[in-house]
Amino acid sequence: MVVEKPPAVITPSKDFKELMEKLDEIEEMVDNTNAEIMQRLGKKIGRDIGIIYGFIIGFIITILVGKLMPNILLFIKMG
Q: Is residue 2 part of a domain?
A: no
Give pLDDT, residue 65: 87
Q: Is residue 58 part of a domain?
A: yes
What is the domain count for the chain? 1
Q: Is residue 4 part of a domain?
A: no
Angstrom CA distances, 12 to 16, 17, 19, 59, stand at: 6, 9, 11, 70
Helices of type H across the chain: 13-78
Q: Is residue 7 part of a domain?
A: no
Q: Which amino acid is at 26?
A: I
Q: Which amino acid is at 51?
A: I
Q: Is residue 31 part of a domain?
A: yes
Mean pLDDT value across residues 58-76: 85
Give pLDDT, residue 49: 98
Residue range(s) defining the domain that contains residue 58: 13-78
Give pLDDT, residue 5: 78
Q: Is residue 1 part of a domain?
A: no
Closest CA to 33 of 41, 44, 22, 45: 41
7-56 pLDDT, tens digit per residue, is 677 767 888 889 999 999 999 999 999 999 999 999 999 999 999 999 99
